[in-house]
Amino acid sequence: MKDIIAFIDLLKASHLFALCQAILLFIIGFILARLISSAVVKVTKHKLTAHGQLFLKRSIFYSILALVTFSALDNIGLDLSILLGAAGIFTVALGFASQTSASNLISGLFLMIERPFSITDVIKVNDITGEVISIDLLSVKLRTFDNLFVRIPNESMIKSAVTTMTKYPIRRADLKIGIAYKEDIEKVRNILMDIAAKNFICLEEPAPVFILTGFGSSSIDIQFSVWARRENFLALKNSMYIEIKNAFDQQGIEIPFPHVSLYAGTATTPFPLTSVVDSSAKQPAADK
């Protein structure tokens, strides 16, 4: 009887020892996964974008952690084939139960492979514009310019038109300008070109573009397009509008406001006007 009890105690001790080994193995594996993934990213950071670094770090970390987890479970005597079969059934059931999450997950993988934008890029999705602060498997996180946090599901990112505003080093500013019909268009063009040449933010190449967009209801409509480095885009727009307004005032160029002209009969004959004076208002106070 004593031998049986001793054997049971030894069996319990061995199981406890194996469990402790498994826990210790998982902790060590977790630490090594963190260290190895960070070390690999540091070595390759000059060759990858911020988006690529994040994807590589997470892939290495979770791969090592999965191997360590399987090794720890095998160490305590758990049959991994049964576990993998159960995991497969659970994954299928979970997929049917959470189709939206699965769609976001697949869309997130496409985003990470295609890489239309990276972390720190400024993007526009529908009417939302902000800086990308995180690209995860289920969603993309943005910080808008008024410091709001926006989470956009990856499925919406795949289905929507996404504009990456910081993809290229330079941007074009399209200035919309209206001048009165009486103004000399060539003179206005020379004034605008001179303003662009003197603005130190405006790039000489590509050269500014002067386009007549049409005859508006109250003005001749002009698009004057100038280029700047993307970090100077807003500064260029503001400075150009201010300088154009000042130059037009100095040169006597009229910037018309919307107005409506009414004609009766022929286009050149104005309305006849008659002044009507109230006779009672002209009577002296003594006569009343």
Which pLDDT belongs to residue 266?
57
Name all domains of the chain by residue range, CATH numbers in brackets: 2-97 (1.10.287), 110-164 (2.30.30.60), 170-251 (3.30.70.100)
Q: What is the mean pLDDT of residues 143-169?
A: 91
The amino acid sitting at 194 is D
Q: What is the mean pLDDT of residues 109-129?
A: 86
Which pLDDT belongs to residue 110?
82
Quote the radius of gyration of the chain (alpha carbons, Å): 36
Average pLDDT, the chain: 79
Q: What is the mean pLDDT of residues 129-155?
A: 90
Q: What is the mean pLDDT of residues 264-270?
A: 56
The overall pTM is greater than 0.75:
no
Grade residue 236 by pLDDT with cuts at 50, 70 and 90. Answer: very high
Grade residue 288 by pLDDT with cuts at 50, 70 and 90. Answer: very low
Question: 183-218, pLDDT tens digit by residue?
Answer: 999 999 999 999 999 999 999 999 999 999 999 888
The answer to whether the CB of 75 falls within 8 A of the CB of 25 is: yes
Largest interatomic CA distance in the chain: 140
Buried b (16+ CB within 10 A) or exposed e, 143-176: eeeeeeeeebbbbebbeeebeeebeeeebebebe
Which pLDDT belongs to residue 7?
42
Q: Which residue has the higher pLDDT, 23 or 147?
A: 147
Contacts of 64 by beta carbon, 8 Å cutoff, 6+ apart: 29, 32, 33, 36, 37
Grade residue 177 by pLDDT with cuts at 50, 70 and 90. Answer: very high
Q: Which residue has the higher pLDDT, 217 or 224?
A: 224
Separation between Cα atoms, residue 132 and residue 183, nearest integer Å: 46
Q: What is the mean pLDDT of residues 161-169?
A: 90
Whether residue 282 has pLDDT greater than 60: no
Name the region of 115 (left: φ>0; alpha: ψ -120 to 50; beta: rest): left
Contacts of 45 by beta carbon, 8 Å cutoff, 6+ apart: 53
Instruction: Give the percent of the chain with pLDDT over 70.
Output: 70
Which pLDDT belongs to residue 10?
46
